[in-house]
């Protein structure tokens, strides 16, 4: 069975996956600075940014989105130029 969809649709979906995957990695997967409590406010030691479980998950899923989008873009390009 062959389904004919206009090539703009897979290109648009692939581009959106790449863009939103990169945004997810950049903004949601970025390490967060630790919260400063009243006890820590007096100390002059700078705490390093911490990446928690949520940030790791966003980072991994953002990379998956980017890879899926690239696969969709490349496979659509190859399919169109094979004919």
Residue-wise pLDDT tens digits, 19-76? 999 999 999 887 776 666 666 655 656 666 666 788 889 899 999 999 999 999 999 9
Alpha carbon 24 to its chain centroid, in Å, reads 4
Evaluate whether residue 27 is within a structural domain.
Answer: yes
Evaluate whether residue 23 is within a structural domain.
Answer: yes
pTM, two decimals, is 0.75
Evaluate whether residue 39 is within a structural domain.
Answer: no
Do the beta carbons of residue 5 and residue 72 sit within 8 Å? Answer: no
Evaluate whether residue 2 is within a structural domain.
Answer: no
Evaluate whether residue 3 is within a structural domain.
Answer: no
For residue 13, give its domain range.
Answer: 8-32+48-82
Evaluate whether residue 73 is within a structural domain.
Answer: yes
pLDDT score at 13: 97
Q: How many domains does the chain have?
A: 1
Evaluate whether residue 43 is within a structural domain.
Answer: no
* Lowest mean per-residue pLDDT among 1-5, 14-18, 50-54, 71-75: 50-54
pLDDT score at 31: 73
pLDDT score at 61: 95
């Amino acid at each position: 069975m062959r389904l004919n969809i206009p090539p703009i649709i897979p290109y648009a979906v692939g581009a959106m996956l790449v863009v939103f995957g990169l945004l997810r990695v950049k903004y949601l997967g970025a390490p967060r600075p630790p919260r400063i409590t009243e006890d820590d406010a007096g100390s002059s030691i700078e705490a390093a940014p911490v990446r928690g479980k949520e940030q790791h998950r966003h980072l991994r899923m953002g990379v998956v989105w980017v890879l899926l989008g690239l696969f969709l873009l490349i496979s659509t390009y190859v399919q169109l130029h094979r004919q």
